């Protein structure tokens, strides 16, 4: 491993529709979005043409299966067809190292560090995020026109691509899981009752999700939608908000009476200052349930202390400042007290993971409820802040992509050159990966160690072998 290795880079990213009629010389009509904008139109058309050719060519051999990626010496190209004839393509420059042999230097490209599954997941996420805010590509095309779709894509992806941190992408992108807060029954039921009261009082609220810090406690919407919204909240909306909170200082707004119940709530989307607001302002709208029967909802996020609550309100009602004021009055005190109860529970019952370097690390993922837990990662925001060797995390991604070979239940153990052991276990649609660092350990030692971790971490669930 040499230090002067280059990072993985985005070479280009484009979306095109292969069904658009194209006469000779007008192929650029197919291109819906292209990054970088600095590439001239010829390069764009050539790249799209090449991809189309590859799709056609490979289709001869494998007409049913999806086309995933193209590996070349210096590049990796990933393909995703989210909707019929709409193709998303991402080309990455592989990281490389300067090596010298016999006095001459040459570049060595590190192909094995770029996992198809991870970057395919990145591509899918890019699509889901767009769809959340703007609906499907085809619906925009049908309801408006291609020009509208082009401008929407341009507007969204130009900003979105800037936020991509390709070198930090890892196995978590593949899972794109949700971190659930471990909570006791009573606190959870209190959250439930609060949500029920909210939905009962305001029937325009169709669904509610509840987060505490970066962890989900409750979501009333379907898991695939929750997944995207969760990603958006913890990677974009909440971090941005916390920054403004830190700048402005999160002092309670109603300190006038010490006897009134504490009220720390405020809207994150929607009017930020209710006292001065005379109009609702811009409230984001999102598209949910895109797979079956898409519907538009207002997406209102309200936060008190560390608890954030997302309200999904019927998109066809007119929102008024009065409604926001009423909601604020209803939610503020209750949410504040629930949040402080949960915070108290967390400080008493949740032990922060051991931060010492040599302690075993694990990643857990359950495909069915999308729950994940990781002690490999030190936060939920994919900042590349990991607690063990990067190589080990890459081995996990390799194991994950080959997990189908294990069948219903099974185990893989890998030992690396630098005394890392990576153990992957699969059972009952759950995955569990453990990273250990042990010098001179035998397979039996490792097996025992893993068993111990399983006993403590996977208590109360069916995970084979028990």
Partner 1 sequence: MSSLKEPYLELSDHPVRFEAVNQVTNVFFDDSNKQVFAVRSGGTMGVVVKGPTEDTPPINFRMEDRGPVISIKFSLDQSILAVQRTTTSVEFFIFNGNTIEGEFSQACKKNTAILGFVWIQNNEVALITDHGIELYIIIPEKKTVKHSKTTSIVIQWFVWCPKNKIAVLASSHGSQLQPAIFKPGTISKLSKVETEPGRMTLERDVTLATLYGTPAVLILRHQSGPQTAEVHVHTLNGPGQAPVKSHILRLGLSGRFAINVVDDLILVHHQASRSSQVFDIALQSESDGTVNYHKSVAPAKSLKPTSLPLPGLVEPQTHICDLYSPNWVVFQPNIVIDAKLGCLWHIKLSLTTLCAQIPDLSVCTQLALKRTNGKEVLLQLLLDHILLPKPLLYKLQESFNHINSVYRLWAEAQILMQTASPVSAPPPSKPSAPPRVLISQSDMYHYILQKLMINDDHLQNLEWALISYMTSLSEYCIPVEFSLNELLIKILVQRNKFTALVQLLQYGIVADSKPLACLLLSLGNLHPSASQLAMDMLVRLGAIEEIQEVLIDQGQLLSAFKLSQDCVSPRKFLQAAEKLGDPTLFHSMLYCFRTNHQYDKAFLKDERLHSFLQHYRMLFPEKTLSDKTT
Contacts of 201 (CB under 8 A, 6+ apart): 330
What's the first-to-final CA gap in the chain, in angstroms?
A: 38
If phi > 0 it is left, if psi is from -120 to 50 it is alpha, else beta; for residue 391 that is: alpha
The burial of 408, by beta-carbon neighbours within 10 Å (0-12 exposed, 13-18 middle, 19 or more buried), is given as: exposed
| 71 versus 464: smaller Cβ distance to partner 1 | 464
206's enclosing H/E stretch is strand 205-212
| Whole-number Å distance between alpha carbons of 202 and 347 | 33
| 181 versus 376: smaller Cβ distance to partner 1 | 181
| Whole-number Å distance between alpha carbons of 272 and 269 | 7
- Which tokens in the block code for residue 6? 């280059």
Which residues are at the interface with partner 1 (CB under 8 A)?
180, 183, 185-186, 188-190, 192-193, 196-197, 200-201, 203, 218-223, 226, 366, 368-369, 371, 408-409, 428-430, 460-462, 464-466
| Whole-number Å distance between alpha carbons of 192 and 210 | 9
Smallest distance from partner 1 to CB 348, Å: 17
| 97 versus 343: smaller Cβ distance to partner 1 | 343
Strands (E) located in 320-441: 361-366, 371-374, 409-415, 420-427, 430-437
Smallest distance from partner 1 to CB 146, Å: 36
Smallest distance from partner 1 to CB 329, Å: 14
Smallest distance from partner 1 to CB 465, Å: 6
| 61 versus 408: smaller Cβ distance to partner 1 | 408
| 201 versus 260: smaller Cβ distance to partner 1 | 201
Smallest distance from partner 1 to CB 196, Å: 5
| 208 versus 423: smaller Cβ distance to partner 1 | 208
| 6 versus 369: smaller Cβ distance to partner 1 | 369
Smallest distance from partner 1 to CB 158, Å: 34
From the CB of residue 299, how many other CB atoms can be counted at a distance below 10 Å?
Answer: 24
CA distances to 14, 79, 111, 369, 401 from 71, rounded to whole Å, are 18, 12, 8, 33, 16
Smallest distance from partner 1 to CB 181, Å: 10
| Whole-number Å distance between alpha carbons of 288 and 223 | 11
- Among residues 8, 14, 15, 384, the alpha carbon closest in space to that of 166 is found at 8
Smallest distance from partner 1 to CB 55, Å: 32
Contacts of 265 (CB under 8 A, 6+ apart): 302, 303, 304, 328, 331, 332, 333, 335, 336
| 72 versus 201: smaller Cβ distance to partner 1 | 201
Smallest distance from partner 1 to CB 422, Å: 23
| 85 versus 367: smaller Cβ distance to partner 1 | 367
């Amino acid at each position: 491993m040499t230090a002067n290795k280059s990072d993985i880079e985005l070479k280009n990213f484009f979306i095109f529709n292969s069904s658009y009629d194209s006469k000779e010389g007008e192929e650029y009509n197919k291109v819906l979005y292209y990054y970088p904008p600095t590439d001239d139109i010829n390069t764009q058309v050539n790249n799209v043409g090449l991809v189309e050719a590859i799709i056609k060519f490979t289709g001869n051999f494998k007409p049913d299966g999806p086309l995933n990626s193209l590996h070349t010496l210096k590049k990796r190209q990933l393909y995703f067809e989210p909707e019929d004839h709409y193709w998303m393509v991402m080309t990455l420059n592989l990281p490389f190292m300067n090596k010298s042999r016999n006095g001459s230097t040459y570049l060595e490209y590190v192909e094995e560090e770029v996992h198809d599954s991870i970057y395919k997941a990145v591509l899918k996420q890019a699509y889901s995020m767009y769809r959340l805010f703007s609906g499907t590509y085809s619906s925009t095309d049908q309801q408006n026109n291609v020009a509208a779709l082009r401008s929407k894509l341009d507007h969204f992806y130009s900003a979105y691509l800037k936020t991509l941190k390709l070198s930090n992408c890892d196995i978590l992108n593949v899972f794109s899981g949700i971190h659930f807060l471990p909570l006791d029954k009573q606190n959870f039921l209190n959250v439930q009752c609060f949500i029920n009261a909210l939905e009962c009082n305001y029937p325009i609220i169709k669904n509610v999700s509840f987060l505490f810090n970066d962890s989900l406690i409750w979501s009333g919407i379907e898991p695939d939608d929750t997944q995207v919204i969760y990603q958006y909240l913890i990677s974009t909306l909440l971090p941005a908000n916390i920054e403004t909170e830190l700048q402005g200082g999160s002092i309670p707004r109603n300190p006038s009476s010490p006897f009134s119940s504490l009220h720390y709530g405020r809207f994150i989307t929607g009017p930020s200052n209710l006292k001065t607001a005379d109009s609702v302002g811009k409230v984001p709208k999102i598209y949910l349930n895109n797979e079956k029967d898409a519907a538009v909802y207002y997406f209102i996020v309200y936060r008190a202390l560390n608890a954030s609550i997302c309200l999904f309100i019927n998109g066809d009602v007119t929102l008024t400042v009065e409604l926001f004021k009423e909601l604020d009055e209803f939610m503020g005190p209750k949410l504040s007290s629930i949040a402080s109860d949960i915070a108290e529970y967390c400080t008493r019952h949740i032990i922060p993971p051991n931060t010492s370097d040599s302690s075993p690390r694990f990643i857990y993922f359950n495909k069915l409820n999308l729950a994940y837990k990781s002690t490999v990662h030190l936060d939920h925001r994919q900042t590349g802040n990991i607690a063990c060797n990067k190589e080990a995390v890459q081995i996990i991604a390799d194991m994950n992509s080959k997990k189908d070979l294990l069948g219903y239940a099974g185990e893989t153990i890998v030992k690396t050159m630098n005394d890392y052991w990576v153990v992957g276990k699969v059972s009952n649609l759950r995955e569990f990966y453990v990273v250990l660092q042990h010098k001179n350990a035998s397979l039996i030692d490792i097996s025992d160690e893993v068993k111990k971790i399983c006993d403590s971490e996977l208590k109360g669930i069916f995970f084979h072998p028990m």
